[in-house]
Amino acid sequence: MIRDQHIPIMTNEILSFINKKKNLSILDCTFGGGGHSKKFLEKGHFVTAIDQDDNSLIFAKQLKKNFPNIIFYKNNFKNIDLLDFDTKKFNFILLDLGFSSNQLDDNDIGLSFKKNSELNMNYLGGDLNAYKIINYYDMEELKRVFYVYGEINQAEKLAKYIINQRSIKKINTNFEFIEVLRESGVNFRSKKIHFATQAFQALRIESNHELENLEIFLKKVHSFFEINAYLAIISFHSLEDRIVKNYFKDNKVKKNNTFQNNKDWGYEILTKKPLTPSKLEVIENNRSRSAKLRVGRFIN
Ligand SMILES: C[S@@+](CC[C@H](N)C(=O)[O-])C[C@H]1O[C@@H](n2cnc3c(N)ncnc32)[C@H](O)[C@@H]1O
């Protein structure tokens, strides 16, 4: 039996936006182990949940035994407009981005640089993975991945070194890749973090099309709101947070209550600065330390 190890993040902050409301229709686009969904169900709300992970389907079935008001769709949230929802409008939509602790612990996915595993990092089930990127991407593509997604200044030097090493022998595992990073001579800006963090982040973002999924979703989500609904997004790295921040800014309702860019909808931004977890939450759940929550109220 798979056990859900994932602790939901910033649940009090999320619930605070809807604490007096009843019987809401909520769309949880990143169900994971169902931590947030369970909190919504306990408050008597109705949950429509999405996740691409097979294990989430199992967790959703378990949750449904006690809370019948949940319906689960195994899919990518970028396909929100293709799903055959019972309800098409929601009062609250949540994205808790990235991967779950269960996925981090899964050696077949290999997201961790602390454990050895085959190079993969794909947790969303597409065709791409870290092995293909490292062993088959050309110089320019590798440079882009490490520069844009890893924010590694010496991305070109790293790409050249990888291409040289893989011509001698394919790079098969996480530990082999870490060895390549170590020997590359690249100066990773890593005083506080493990030196492989940025390169792993880059490969994970590329393998799962993380930023593209978010951007596609944000282009569609406005069609799914009830009046005065909320969009809440938790992100875990600056590249994601920048997309969310700009999305709210670009669609902010102006002071004279008009909308931007000929749209007939917009958001009141409820978090001028992103909310972050309390010190206590970070102590209790170290994984929450980099979380940033932004919330907007949908107006049309
Ligand atoms: C941080 S976890 C969410 C945990 C969840 N809120 C909980 O409390 O258990 C992120 C989840 O989102 C899923 N996910 C990430 N990107 C996705 C996407 N584009 N489409 C569908 N699911 C996605 C992952 O599979 C993972 O289960």
Q: Spell out the SS3 assignment of 266-281.
A: EEEECCCCCECCCHHH
- Shortest-distance Cα residue to atom 2 of ligand 1: 100
Indicate if the pLDDT at residue 1 is higher than 60: no
Per-residue confidence (pLDDT) for residue 280, from 0 to 100: 96
d(CA 182, CA 161): 11
Q: What percent of the chain has pLDDT over 90?
A: 89
Ligand 1 pocket: which residues have CB below 6 Å?
6, 8, 30, 32-36, 50-53, 56, 76-78, 96, 98-100, 123-124, 213
Closest ligand 1 atom, residue 8 Cα: 8
Which of 15, 28, 30, 128, when mutated, tests ligand 1's pocket best, judged by the most ligand atoms within 8 Å of its CB? 30
Per-residue confidence (pLDDT) for residue 220, from 0 to 100: 98
Residue type, 262: N
The chain-wide mean pLDDT, for the chain, equals: 95
Give the DSSP per-residue string, 119-158.
S----S--S--HHHHHHH--HHHHHHIIIIIT--TTHHHH
- Shortest-distance Cα residue to atom 13 of ligand 1: 30
Alpha helix ranges (H) inside 30-173: 35-42, 54-66, 101-104, 130-136, 139-144, 155-168
- Shortest-distance Cα residue to atom 15 of ligand 1: 98
Closest ligand 1 atom, residue 124 Cα: 25
Query: pLDDT (tens digit, 9 = 90+) per residue, 106-122?
Result: 999 999 999 999 999 99
Structural domains of the chain ordered from first start: 11-102+211-299 (3.40.50.150), 129-208 (1.10.150.170)
288 close to 234: Cβ distance less than 8 angstroms: no
